[in-house]
């Protein structure tokens, strides 16, 4: 089955055409800087890359240009459905769903929880409906996989009215990746579907870790928003919440501004002062930059502490799983984290750690030790597979 996968952001539109039978990407595209004179569309297919200027284009014009290109390549006709990445499904959605009016209203009702993400996600859905009427559309939520968390994991210890009246609780994100990667790790390790415990670390620009017991998320590091938990490229992760009021007063700004700084000027970028990109921070550390070294140490130490904490709901950890741009590609970061996890019986095999990565997942610890392994993620494929299953009526 051929599926169009859409990830519609505030000023960007990412898409891919996936052949679900072959689990293969046929084409991918990225429209960026939408709404500005520099708007452009980049298309990758068959090893070739093509870039087109689309000055002033908004989402609808970009989607039309993308669709015209798909038609010209003969990729539009056989499409069986469209899968949309939707960031927040609140407490309404615990799995992917076929989109109808009621589902759209549900996504709309979650806008207060993700004001920057759900509106462009909805826009993508509406544009596709106009452009490709009659083609089934599916919503795949970042939060859905974590709806299986028990109340003692998702409840914050705050006045209960905050939860009842304002839906303040832990939701968790990156669910599509955690679900895909944990299922793959279980297969690779030959674990029983009804008896396994995995801790998955998704380390990209955003980072989160999840405890997966018997195929279900039982706890995760991100919270009401993707700011909680691990140190990330530009996000702080956990901190004393009193810092928000303290810095608002010091900087003479409001709380929203401080939260913005915690989202955009913190994490690896904040500590290193070099970059939010792990490759650049590693290079600076290599060159002797002390703050870059500290940023990496803070990143790895905090990550290891969270991974160890996520063993609690599992009782037994069959494996720690690394994925995402950093998790798949950075052997030094994995080595540092595994070293911290010696307390839980992990012992790195440097030779294995050096060879495993994006192209070949696999074990990176020595035989007999607690297992850590690399499993490449593929969120587009996961979205396409959900879409294909729902379109075929299998879910
Ligand atoms: P996103 O979360 O936007 O999907 P990715 O999963 O691609 O992003 O992860 C991006 C991160 O992966 C960046 O911090 C980047 O520096 C890091 N990364 C990619 N390749 C390497 C590498 N070889 N070594 C270290 N970090 C890497």
Q: Are residues 8 and 118 in the same domain?
A: yes
Q: Are residues 259 and 336 in the same domain?
A: yes
- Strand arrangement of the beta sheet that strand 207-213 belongs to: 216-220, 207-213, 197-203, 319-323, 371-374, 362-363
The residue whose CA has the least distance to atom 21 of ligand 1 is 329
341 lines ligand 1 (CB under 6 A): no
Q: Are residues 196 and 112 in the same domain?
A: no
319 near 185, Cβ under 8 Å?
yes
331-340 and 290-309 helices, crossing angle to 10°: 50
Instruction: Give the count of beta carbons closer than 10 Å to the beta carbon of residue 309.
Output: 14
Instruction: Locate the DSSP E strands across 90-242.
Output: 97-98, 137-141, 197-203, 207-213, 216-220
206 lines ligand 1 (CB under 6 A): yes
Q: Are residues 134 and 221 in the same domain?
A: no
325 lines ligand 1 (CB under 6 A): yes
CA of 316 to the centre of ligand 1 (A): 30
Q: Which of 178, 325, 356, 378 to probe ligand 1 with, by most ligand atoms within 8 A of CB?
A: 325
Closest ligand 1 atom number to CA of residue 333: 25
Distance (Å, whole) CA 17 – CA 72: 14
CA of 205 to the centre of ligand 1 (A): 6
Q: Does residue 387 fall inside a structural domain?
A: no
CA of 281 to the centre of ligand 1 (A): 11
CA of 276 to the centre of ligand 1 (A): 10
Q: Are residues 135 and 218 in the same domain?
A: no
- Look at residue 361 in the predicted model and tell me its pLDDT: 86
Q: Looking at 19, 77, 100, 142, which residue is catalytic? A: 142
- Look at residue 395 in the predicted model and tell me its pLDDT: 62
Instruction: Give the count of beta carbons closer than 10 Å to the beta carbon of residue 23.
Output: 11
The residue whose CA has the least distance to atom 3 of ligand 1 is 205
Q: Which residues pair with 3 in a beta bridge?
A: 18, 81
Q: Does residue 394 fall inside a structural domain?
A: no
277 lines ligand 1 (CB under 6 A): yes
- Buried b vs exposed e over 101-122: b needs ≥16 C-beta within 10 Å? eebbebbeebbebbeebbebbb
327 lines ligand 1 (CB under 6 A): no
Q: Are residues 121 and 206 in the same domain?
A: no
CA of 70 to the centre of ligand 1 (A): 28
Q: Are residues 237 and 109 in the same domain?
A: no
Instruction: Find the domain containing 291 and state its range.
Output: 190-379
CA of 260 to the centre of ligand 1 (A): 22
**Dihedral pair phi/psi, residue 138, rounded to 5°:** -130, 140
Q: Are residues 368 and 303 in the same domain?
A: yes
Residue 142: active-site member:
yes
How far from each other are the two terminal CA atoms of the chain, in whole angstroms? 16
- Look at residue 73 in the predicted model and tell me its pLDDT: 94
What tokens were used for 75?
Answer: 């990729």
Closest ligand 1 atom number to CA of residue 202: 6
List all residues 6 or more positions away from 114 whose beta carbon is below 8 Å from its beta carbon.
87, 88, 225
Q: Does residue 185 fall inside a structural domain?
A: no
- Look at residue 77 in the predicted model and tell me its pLDDT: 84
Q: Does residue 356 fall inside a structural domain?
A: yes
Q: Does residue 220 fall inside a structural domain?
A: yes
Q: Are residues 135 and 202 in the same domain?
A: no
Q: Which of 269, 277, 278 to probe ligand 1 with, by most ligand atoms within 8 A of CB?
A: 278
CATH code: domain of residue 318 = 3.30.420.40
What tokens were used for 162?
Answer: 């905050």
Q: Are residues 232 and 353 in the same domain?
A: yes
233 lines ligand 1 (CB under 6 A): yes
State the alpha helices, DSSP H only, in 341-373.
350-355
Number of domains in the chain: 2
- Look at residue 359 in the predicted model and tell me its pLDDT: 80
- Look at residue 394 in the predicted model and tell me its pLDDT: 66
326 lines ligand 1 (CB under 6 A): yes
205 lines ligand 1 (CB under 6 A): yes
330 lines ligand 1 (CB under 6 A): yes
**Dihedral pair phi/psi, residue 336, rounded to 5°:** -65, -40
Q: Are residues 206 and 68 in the same domain?
A: no
172 lines ligand 1 (CB under 6 A): no
Q: Does residue 205 fall inside a structural domain?
A: yes
Element housing 269 (H / E): helix 267-272
CA of 78 to the centre of ligand 1 (A): 33
List all residues 6 or more positions away from 151 whose beta carbon is below 8 Å from its beta carbon.
none
- For 27, which DSSP code? E
Q: Which residues pair with 371 in a beta bridge?
A: 319
Q: Does residue 183 fall inside a structural domain?
A: no
Written as tens digits, the pLDDT of the chain (395 aa) is 999 999 999 899 999 999 999 999 999 999 999 999 999 999 999 999 999 999 999 999 999 999 999 999 999 888 999 999 999 999 999 999 999 999 999 999 999 999 889 999 999 999 999 999 989 999 999 999 999 999 999 999 999 999 999 999 999 999 999 999 999 999 999 999 999 999 999 999 999 999 999 999 999 999 999 999 999 999 999 999 999 999 999 999 999 999 999 999 999 999 999 999 999 999 999 999 999 999 999 999 999 999 999 999 998 999 999 999 999 999 999 999 999 999 999 999 999 999 988 788 899 999 999 999 999 999 999 999 999 999 998 66
118-131 and 101-109 helices, crossing angle to 10°: 160
293 near 306, Cβ under 8 Å?
no
**Dihedral pair phi/psi, residue 363, rounded to 5°:** -70, 140
Q: Which of 117, 226, 234, 279 to probe ligand 1 with, by most ligand atoms within 8 A of CB?
A: 279
Antiparallel, parallel or unpaired: β 40-45 and 48-53: antiparallel
CA of 207 to the centre of ligand 1 (A): 10
């Amino acid at each position: 089955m051929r599926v169009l996968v859409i990830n519609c952001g505030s000023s960007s539109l990412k898409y891919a055409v996936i052949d679900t039978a072959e689990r293969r990407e046929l084409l991918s595209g990225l429209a960026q800087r939408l709404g500005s004179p520099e708007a452009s569309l980049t298309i990758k297919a068959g090893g070739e890359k093509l870039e087109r200027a689309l000055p002033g284009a908004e989402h609808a014009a970009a989607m039309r240009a993308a669709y015209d290109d798909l038609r010209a390549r003969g990729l539009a006709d056989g499409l069986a459905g469209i899968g949309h990445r939707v960031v927040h499904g609140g407490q309404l959605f615990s799995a992917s769903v076929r989109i109808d009016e009621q589902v759209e209203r549900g996504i709309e009702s979650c806008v207060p929880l993700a004001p920057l993400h759900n509106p462009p996600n909805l826009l993508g859905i509406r544009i596709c409906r106009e452009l490709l009427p009659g083609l089934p559309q599916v919503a795949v939520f970042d939060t859905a996989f974590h709806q299986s968390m028990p109340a003692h994991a998702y409840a914050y210890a705050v006045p209960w009215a905050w939860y009842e009246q304002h839906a303040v609780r832990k939701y968790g994100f990156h669910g599509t990746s955690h679900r895909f990667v944990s299922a793959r790790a279980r297969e690779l390790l030959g674990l029983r579907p009804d008896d396994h415990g995995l801790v998955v670390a998704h380390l990209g620009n955003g980072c989160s870790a999840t405890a997966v017991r018997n195929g279900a998320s039982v706890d995760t590091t991100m919270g009401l928003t993707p700011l909680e938990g691990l140190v990330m490229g530009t996000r702080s992760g956990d901190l004393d919440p009193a810092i928000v009021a303290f810095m608002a007063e010091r900087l003479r700004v409001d709380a929203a501004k401080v939260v913005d700084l915690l989202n955009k000027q913190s994490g690896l970028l904040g500590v290193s002062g070099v970059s939010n990109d792990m490759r650049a921070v590693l290079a600076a550390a290599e060159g002797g930059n002390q703050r870059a070294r500290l940023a990496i140490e803070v990143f790895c130490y905090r990550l290891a502490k969270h991974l160890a904490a996520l063993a609690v709901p599992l009782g037994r950890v069959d494996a720690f799983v690394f994925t995402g741009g950093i998790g798949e590609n950075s052997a030094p970061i994995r080595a540092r984290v595994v070293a911290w996890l010696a307390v839980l019986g992990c012992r790195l095999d440097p030779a294995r750690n050096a060879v495993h990565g994006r192209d070949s997942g696999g074990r990176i610890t020595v035989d007999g030790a607690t297992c850590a392994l690399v499993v490449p993620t593929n969120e587009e494929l996961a979205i396409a597979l959900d879409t294909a299953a729902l379109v075929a009526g299998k879910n």
